[in-house]
Amino acid sequence: MKKFLRNSILFFNLLAILGLLMSYLSVKISPASWWVAAFFGLAFPYFLLLNLLFIVLWLFTKTRFAILSLLAIAVGYTHLSHYIQLTGKQSTEEGLVVCSYNVKNFYGDMRSKKSDVAANVLTHLQSKKADVICLQEFRPSGQNSFTKRPTKGKLPDPKKLKYVHTSKTGSLVNYSSFPIIYKEEVHFEASANMILISDLKTPTDTLRLFNCHLESYRFTDAEIQSLDSISFKEQEETYRKVRYTGSKLKKAFIKRTEQAETLHQLIAASPHEVIVCGDFNDTPISYTYATVAQGLKDAFVGSGVGIGNTYLGKLPSFRIDYILHSPNYQSYNFKVDRVNYSDHYPISCTLIKSDQ
pLDDT in tens, 135-165: 999 876 555 666 544 445 567 666 667 766 5
Would you state the pLDDT for residue 191? 84
pLDDT tens digits, the chain, 356 residues: what are they? 578 888 888 999 999 999 999 999 999 999 999 999 999 999 999 999 999 999 999 988 877 889 999 999 999 988 988 999 988 899 999 999 999 999 988 887 767 788 888 888 988 998 999 999 999 998 765 556 665 444 455 676 666 677 665 666 668 888 888 988 999 999 888 888 999 999 999 988 999 999 999 998 766 655 555 555 555 556 666 666 667 677 778 888 999 999 999 999 999 999 999 999 999 999 999 999 999 999 999 999 999 999 889 998 666 678 999 999 999 999 999 999 999 999 899 999 999 998 75
Cα separation values, 249 from 37, 42, 99, 106, 232, Å: 11, 10, 29, 26, 21
* Contact indicator for 43, 269 with CB cutoff of 8 Å: no
* Contact indicator for 284, 62 with CB cutoff of 8 Å: no
Would you state the pLDDT for residue 201? 93
User: Amino acid identity, residue 277?
Assistant: C
Count CB atoms within 10 A of the CB of residue 172.
24
Structural domains present in the chain: 2-80 (no CATH), 96-218+246-353 (3.60.10.10)
User: Amino acid identity, residue 123?
Assistant: T
* Contact indicator for 19, 40 with CB cutoff of 8 Å: yes
Single pTM value for the model: 0.89
* Contact indicator for 105, 171 with CB cutoff of 8 Å: yes
DSSP string, 4-26: HHHHHHHHHHHHHHHHHHHHHHT
Would you state the pLDDT for residue 299? 97
**Which residues fall within 8 angstroms of residue 42, CB to CB, at 6 or more apart?**
249, 283, 286
